[in-house]
Chain A
Amino acid sequence: MMGAENHDYEEPQLFASRDEMENLLLDDDEPSPSAAPSSYGDFRSAMTTIADAHHPLSSAKVDAHAVASSDPLLSPPPPIVLKRNPSGHSDNSLVDPPSYADVVFSPFAENGRAANGASGVSRSPSSSSAPAEYVRITVSDPQKEQETSSNSIVPSGNTYWTYLITTRTNSPEFGPGVSEFAVRRRFRDVVTLADRLAESYRGFFIPPRPDKNVVESQVMQKQEFVKQRQAALEKYLSRLVGHPVIGKSEELKVFLMVNGRLPLPTTTDVASRMLDGAVKLPKQLFGDSGTVLGPQEVVQPAKGGRDLLRLFKELKQSVANDWGGTRPPVVEEDKDFMEKKEKMQDLEHQLSNASQQAEALVKAQQDIGETMGELGLAFVKLTKFEAEEAIFNSQRIRAADTKHVATAAVKASRFYRELNAQTVNHLDTLHEHLGLMMAVHTAFSDRSSALLTVQTLVSELSSLHSRAEKLEAASSKIFGGDRSRVRKIEELKETIRATEDAKNVAIREYERIKENNRVELERLDQERHDSFLDMMKGFVINQVGYAEKINSVWAKVAEETSGYARES
């Protein structure tokens, strides 16, 4: 009996002794409780209904499910895996996302799920169909490096961390066949990449990059911080490659493939702009005809530095828009878009709320599991005590009864823990989509600023036109023409032509961004729909599976103690 199992119950470390106690209890019982077939049966029937249905998903998903349906024992069942490994060492495999979380990428794989799976277990697609395209990114091997400042002879003493970024892919975008390459990058490079992408892909929902976390980097433990950043980078890059358009971008490819210094212009930083700005500023300040915007400049929103004047003008315009003064000819006429924008706002609000509640739910699940474990532990101690001190038979019987309850409580506690680990994975989808909202904001503001640029140019044109008209009217009154006025008119006409060009470019840019928005919105809606569906399925299946397991544990105890039931 219990006397033999005299391990270190007095151990101060609760966890160590808890594990021992848990193992002791489980060792005593048969590994497969007799209740298993019924719960397994229920679960299995749940699984087959899902596996049988046709999944009009990407080939990757179909593969995962083909695996699932072919061998129910391997399918998501963290529960079933548990049955095989009662010792509890199977924690790793149980924390893996179930089959709904894909690691296998295809060009149209969704962002959220793909990112999650990147760092997880890789499951090769079954041989029933052609291997899907995948791009797998791993970030590893953080190293500390010294800043070699070329400007000074004295080493600057600044250190930074670099990470090894390995890409493994069979996508033809990166070369024929299966290619693998690795580069070493620092976080600053990632910022550069993100900035360049933001410029080149206005209107797209670009996955947000990891934060700079300046405070955390000082305050946190180095190890912790580096680990956290490493994981965040991996997630970010995986999402980037998962995007149907950005995944093929030159900037990204260059980032992933070109070793050595990152060949992308670093932030269109203030320094170089200042240089340009210093030259142009006088002209700008005098508000002269030299303030024509080169068409190519129009493609970017106004920023600081050299765009001072443009900023000012656009600001003036937006104020005019707000006050509804001159009605700008180009109006945000897209009612559809306005509706969608409102919907996005509402969605964000609900996502945020749901995300919060999901966190609270996870915490509650964790707590109940913990307390159940503590309760089990208390009963284990009670069992041992009663058994050791027993003088009467009634005590021994009670010790045996208590042991049943203790075992069940410990097992149930374990199930709660595992259930929760899975729940976290599933409900993480909510957090991820919430994060994507940021990208949506950016894309929408790309659109607004492009529109603003157009509107500014349009009203500028109209004021130029009216100036020209006035001049012509004035000069036509003078017989033979007014040489100076004529010259001014000519200059003005030049300006008008250039502005007209700029306006057309701006309009094209605006239309382009509009289209990007539209396409992305649709893509996002679809992906969100599917990933939410996955999330719910996973969440529900998980709950069912573990509820069944927990039920069988307690049903057993009810059975064992049925003799005490009141016969009334």
Chain B
Amino acid sequence: MITTQRTLSGSSQSPRSPSARPFLSVSVTDPVKLGNGVQAYISYRVITKTNLPQYQGPEKIVIRRYSDFVWLRDRLYEKYKGIFVPPLPEKSAVEKFRFSAEFIEMRCQALDIFINRIASHPELQQSEDLRIFLQEDEETMERARSVELGIFKKKPSDLMQIFKDVQSKVSDVVLGKEKPVEESTPEYEKLKHYIYELEDHLAEAQKQAFRLVKRHREMGQSLSDFGKAVKLLGACERDSLGKVFSELGSKSEVLSMKLQEEAHNLLMNFEESLKDYVRAVQSIKVTMADRASAFKQQCELAETTKLKEINLDKLMLMRSEKVGEAEVEYKELKAANEEATRRFETIVRLMNDEIVRFQEQKTADMGLAFHLFAKGQAKLSNDMANAWRSLLPKLEACPYVRT
């Protein structure tokens, strides 16, 4: 399982009375299939328990579906650049499995973890979008989801928007398009390299973990078949041996079930943990892309601003009547430049904190995942040893025929 900080370890460490300490605790449960045919979907109960003033406490229950979670994530992505927004479980690639019990169980679990990570993130937990998601009724949610989806793409033009267009025309010519502007501090380079390689390693580990699940299932199946065959064979033999065979067959079948159980356990916990880890790394890559484009923007605007300044000076020298206009443009550009720099630096600052948080979170998550994995395997092998061992006295009691 993945650790989540279910209680707010917020800014204020309040005194002893537990009720005074602010907390925000969410759970996602009870997946239910709604709708018919092609439009069928799964809905989840989201239960929020909190004492925060901006929330309707102490408990509020809403019904949400997967696309609502996607809405929330997208909003957070847009608004909190620099922060590693917790990853969502994937959409199902294969239509068939969308409603399989296993898939639904895994998704429900992952959504619960997702929402709790947001709720326990010092910045994200303050988000208005989170509050909407957790509190508003279903109609409001649906409206928000569909409306924003449309408008969202067409943001009201702002400083950045204007100059985004300008940039692409000017800077390409000026800077020469072949040379991509990239941040190249050794520290950041190392981080980028780390993240990319980490993803590879994790993907491999996750692949093997998934295979291990399959192997458990296969082993379970073949033990079951073997058990049946042994029972039938035992029917051909004399009394005591035949009985022992029959018992052996039964034990095989019992163990087969244990193997299937462990396979399920591995899938839900161990493999899911690794998948979650991979998703988290991918989320970091998104932030890194944001950082890169923020950096690029800042660089380009800086160049453009400088050019504008030079041009302005030239115009002033020439005492041209275009000076006034140029001055205004220059001021606007300068503001945009400062804004771009500010944004970039925010992202850098946030990322630094996020990386620390990420590493700590992952150590805790994987530590627990490893623990449960080991426990599961230990239990399985213990069950197997016990089951087989119980046969030994009976085998012992069986006399040999030939003296």
**Is B229 in contact with chain A by the CB < 8 A criterion?**
yes
Which residues in A have some Cβ–Cβ distance to B below 8 Å? Answer: 42, 46, 49-50, 53, 55-58, 108, 110, 343, 346-347, 350-351, 353-354, 356-358, 360-361, 363-365, 367-368, 371-372, 374-375, 378-379, 381-382, 385-386, 389, 392, 394-395, 397-398, 401-402, 404-405, 408, 412, 525-530, 532-533, 536-537, 540-541, 543-544, 547-548, 550-551, 554-555, 557-558, 561-566
Instruction: Say whether A56 contacts B363, CB under 8 Å.
Output: no
CB distance from A194 to the nearest CB of B (A): 26
Instruction: Say whether B209 contacts A564, CB under 8 Å.
Output: no
CB distance from A143 to the nearest CB of B (A): 40
CB distance from B89 to the nearest CB of A (A): 21
**Is B399 in contact with chain A by the CB < 8 A criterion?**
yes
Whole-angstrom CA separation of A392 from B401 in the bound complex: 68
Instruction: Say whether A382 contacts B377, CB under 8 Å.
Output: no
CB distance from A17 to the nearest CB of B (A): 14
Whole-angstrom CA separation of A565 from B381 in the bound complex: 20
**With known contacts A347-B236, A350-B229, A402–B215 Cβ distance under 8 A:** no
CB distance from A119 to the nearest CB of B (A): 23
CB distance from B204 to the nearest CB of A (A): 5
Which A residues are CB-close (under 8 A) to B382? 547, 551
Whole-angstrom CA separation of A561 from B197 in the bound complex: 25
Interface of chain B residues 345 through 395 with chain A (CB within 8 A): 356, 359-360, 362-364, 366-368, 370-371, 373-375, 377-378, 381-382, 384-385, 388-389, 391-393, 395
**Is B312 in contact with chain A by the CB < 8 A criterion?**
no
Query: Which 10 pairs of residues, A with B, have the shortest CB-CB distance?
Result: A564-B367, A547-B385, A557-B374, A561-B371, A554-B378, A551-B381, A375-B208, A558-B374, A368-B215, A357-B229
Chain A to chain B contacts (Cβ below 8 Å), 21 pairs? A42-B385, A50-B392, A57-B400, A361-B223, A361-B225, A364-B215, A367-B219, A371-B208, A375-B211, A394-B360, A405-B370, A530-B401, A532-B245, A543-B385, A544-B388, A547-B385, A550-B381, A551-B381, A554-B375, A564-B367, A566-B1
Whole-angstrom CA separation of A371 from B218 in the bound complex: 12
Encode B113-133 as 1/0 by CB contact (under 8 A) with A.
Answer: 000000000000000000000
Whole-angstrom CA separation of A356 from B3 in the bound complex: 45
CB distance from B344 to the nearest CB of A (A): 22
Which A residues are CB-close (under 8 A) to B381? 547-548, 550-551, 554
Contact of B236 among A57, A343, A358, A381 (CB under 8 A): A343
Contact of A561 among B202, B374, B398 (CB under 8 A): B374
Which A residues are CB-close (under 8 A) to B223? 361, 364
CB distance from B187 to the nearest CB of A (A): 9
Instruction: Say whether B219 contacts A530, CB under 8 Å.
Output: no
CB distance from A339 to the nearest CB of B (A): 13
Whole-angstrom CA separation of A351 from B236 in the bound complex: 10
Residue of B nearest to A408 (CB): B374
Instruction: Say whether A360 contacts B378, CB under 8 Å.
Output: no
Contact of B219 among A368, A408, A528, A562 (CB under 8 A): A368
Which A residues are CB-close (under 8 A) to B362? 394, 398
Instruction: Say whether B205 contacts A530, CB under 8 Å.
Output: no
Residue of A nearest to B362 (CB): A398
Instruction: Say whether B378 contacts A385, CB under 8 Å.
Output: no
Main secondary structure of the interface of A (DSSP, over half): helix
Instruction: Say whether A354 contacts B370, CB under 8 Å.
Output: no
Instruction: Say whether B363 contacts A536, CB under 8 Å.
Output: no
Instruction: Say whether A350 contacts B388, CB under 8 Å.
Output: no
**With known contacts A529-B237, A554-B374, A562-B371, A55–B232 Cβ distance under 8 A:** no
**Is B238 in contact with chain A by the CB < 8 A criterion?**
yes
Instruction: Say whether B402 contacts A350, CB under 8 Å.
Output: no
Whole-angstrom CA separation of A353 from B249 in the bound complex: 14
Which B residues are CB-close (under 8 A) to A343? 236
Instruction: Say whether A558 contacts B371, CB under 8 Å.
Output: yes
CB distance from A556 to the nearest CB of B (A): 8
New contact pairs (10) apart from A356-B229, A532-B237, A533-B400, CB-CB < 8 Å: A343-B236, A357-B222, A357-B226, A368-B212, A368-B216, A375-B209, A401-B366, A543-B388, A548-B385, A558-B371
Instruction: Say whether A382 contacts B201, CB under 8 Å.
Output: yes
Which A residues are CB-close (under 8 A) to B216? 368
Whole-angstrom CA separation of A42 from B386 in the bound complex: 10
Residue of B nearest to A542 (CB): B388
Residue of A nearest to B368 (CB): A564
Instruction: Say whether B222 contacts A547, CB under 8 Å.
Output: no
**With known contacts A360-B222, A363-B222, A402–B402 Cβ distance under 8 A:** no
**With known contacts A357-B226, A405-B370, A55–B219 Cβ distance under 8 A:** no
Residue of A nearest to B203 (CB): A378
Instruction: Say whether B204 contacts A530, CB under 8 Å.
Output: no
Which B residues are CB-close (under 8 A) to A46? 389, 392
Encode B238-253 as 1/0 by CB contact (under 8 A) with A.
Answer: 1001001100100000
